[in-house]
Amino acid sequence: MEREQLQAKFRGALLGVAVGDALGAPLEGTRSMPRRILERLAQDSSPMRYTDDTHMPLGLAASLLERQGFHGNHWAVPAALYAFLRHPESFTEAVLYALSLGGDTDTIASMTGALGGAYLGERAIPAVWCERVEGAAHLRDLADDVCRRLRPPARGVDGGRRQQRPHHSGSF
pTM: 0.57
pLDDT in tens, 59-95: 777 777 777 766 666 678 888 898 999 999 999 999 9
% of the chain exceeding 70 in pLDDT: 76
CA distance 16 to 11: 8
CA 121 to chain centroid: 14
Would you say 54 and 17 are in contact if contact means Cβ atoms under 8 Å apart? yes
DSSP per residue, the chain? --HHHHHHHHHHHHHHHHHHHHHHGGGTT-----HHHHHHHHH--S-----HHHHHHHHHHHHHHHHTS--TTS-HHHHHHHHHHHSTT-HHHHHHHHHHT-SSHHHHHHHHHHHHHHHH-GGGS-HHHHHHSTTHHHHHHHHHHHHHHSPPPEEPTTS-EE--PPP-SS--
Closest to 56 in 3D by CA, of 25, 14, 95, 1: 14
Cβ atoms 89, 120 nearer than 8 A: yes
* CB within 8 Å of 166: residues ≥ 6 apart: 35
Average pLDDT score over the chain: 76
pLDDT confidence tier of residue 153, bands split at 50, 70 and 90: low
Q: Average pLDDT of 81-110?
A: 88
